[in-house]
Chains A and B, each alone.
Chain A
Amino acid sequence: MDLRIEEPQETELNMTPMIDIVFQLIIFFLLSLKFKTIDRRIESMLPDDRGLQSIPETPVDEQKIKFKVFRRELASPTNAYTLIKLDNAAQFRLPAGWKGRRLESADRVKQYDAVLATITESLRTRIATYGGMPDAVKGEIVAPPPHGGAVPHGDVVSLLNTFIDVGLMDVRFEGTANPLNKADSAARR
């Protein structure tokens, strides 16, 4: 009779499934890793003195620079453009059919920036007539309904940017009231 106890074999852990899982995890985290999408922001304050009520006319002695924005040729996406009026005097036109900076050719981007540069220049001239103190001047971006409401957000931000560029930080927005401001829906509030 053979009573010898068998010598224990060298046990070995099978690493393969663990490595498989760990690689899966790595791939998951790699793919779900998302880099920051916003890198910049513009700070702004909503007027707390107004809310939704209409305000009395601003005093006439206030130094004010007003942009009026309109979207024209709304029916055609290739011809639609944004018209900007500076204090009802000067007019500027952003390139028609603008699809956004990333999608446009370099020439068109230059054209867009050139318009904004002329606007900035006009703003500087206006501020110079007010004594060159942008802090004392108020800016206003008005989007009169109905065509003002269709102006792309990006164009309004570009105008806001020109204001900040010339050092004018007090900007007010005015424009299309939301549907609930209408008298017929007042009861719902």
Chain B
Amino acid sequence: MAARDIIPEAEDAKMNMTPMIDMTFLLVVFFMLTIDLSSKEFFPVELPYATEGIEDKTDETAEIKRFVINITRDGKIYFKDNEFDLASEDPGVQDDNIVALRTALRQIHEAGGGVIMREKDGASKVPVMIHADWGTKWKYVQWVMQACAHPDIKIYKLQFAVKKPPTDDE
């Protein structure tokens, strides 16, 4: 029983939490700063592939932010939290949706948010990105392009969102 006398009784061990909390707060701050809420404007679609696409660098300093018009495979359009269904069986509903899309586009130009969105000749300064699924019927894309080019709206700058095809070694 001599051994027990030699080993000192284990003290209440305490972990030092401070460095862990420091690191954790740093992580929280990092994620808060890097989180990009604007990516919500992109609806998840399967983009078409193109080898000649240019790198998409969003310019945060640009005076006017581009509009993103999402088109899903089943012909639904998502633009600024609004849904416009172009694939409806009823041509009347299609008409209404195209008119509604135009109205939405025009109202944004009129509201402006303190920025002049039009050139002197009335053409819009805003580029529109068509963020469409590769399987979207082309006519829906065309209708959207026609809505943009409508005399009331006059959006002529257009971008197609594409993906770079994966290379063989990937």
Given contacts A25-B28, A51-B151, whether A46 and B138 have CB atoms under 8 Å apart is no
How many positions in chain B have a CB within 8 Å of any CB in the partner chain? Answer: 65
Identify the closest chain B residue to A162 (Cβ). Answer: B52
Interchain CB contact under 8 A, A29 and B31? yes
User: What separation, in Å, do the CA atoms of A50 and B156 have in the docked complex?
Assistant: 11
Q: Which 10 A-B pairs have the closest CB atoms?
A: A154-B134, A149-B139, A40-B53, A29-B31, A154-B48, A178-B143, A157-B48, A164-B52, A176-B139, A161-B50
Among candidates A101, A151, A180, residue contacting B95 with C-beta atoms closer than 8 Å:
A180
Contact partners of B160 in chain A: CB under 8 A: 41-42, 44, 157, 160
B157 adjacent to chain A (CB < 8 Å): yes
Q: Decide: A41 near B135, CB < 8 A? Known: A15-B21, A179-B95.
A: no
Interface residue range, chain A:
35 or more
Q: Is the CB of B28 within 8 A of A69?
A: no
A22 in contact with B52 given A100-B135, A149-B139 (CB within 8 Å): no
Give the CA-CA distance A52 to B132 in the complex, in Å. Answer: 22
Question: Is A45 interfacial (CB 8 A cutoff)?
Answer: yes
Q: A18: which B residues are within 8 A, CB to CB?
A: 21
- Contact digits for A12-35, partner B, Cβ 8 Å, 1 yes 0 no: 000100110011011001101110
Chain B contacts to A: CB under 8 angstroms: 17, 20-21, 24-25, 27-28, 31-32, 34-36, 39, 42, 44, 46-56, 71, 91, 94-95, 98-99, 123, 129, 131-139, 141-143, 145-151, 154-165
The answer to whether B137 touches A152 (Cβ under 8 A) is: yes
- Nearest-neighbour CB distance to chain A for B144, whole angstroms, equals 9
Cross-chain contact of B142 among A45, A51, A149 (Cβ < 8 A): A149
Asked whether any CB of chain B lies closer than 8 Å to the CB of A145, the reply is yes
Contact of B55 among A19, A25, A39 (CB under 8 A): A39
Q: How far is the CA of A36 from the CA of B42 in the complex (A)?
A: 10
Q: How far is the CB of B151 from chain A (nearest CB, A)?
A: 5
Q: Which A residues lie within 8 Å of B133 (CB)?
A: 153-154
A153 touching B24, Cβ below 8 Å: no
A143 x B138 contact (CB < 8 A): yes
Residues of B within 8 A of A69 (CB): 138
- The reply to whether B135 and A178 form a contact with Cβ atoms under 8 Å apart is no
For residue A165, CB closer than 8 A to chain B, the reply is yes
Docked complex Cα distance between A30 and B32 (Å): 9
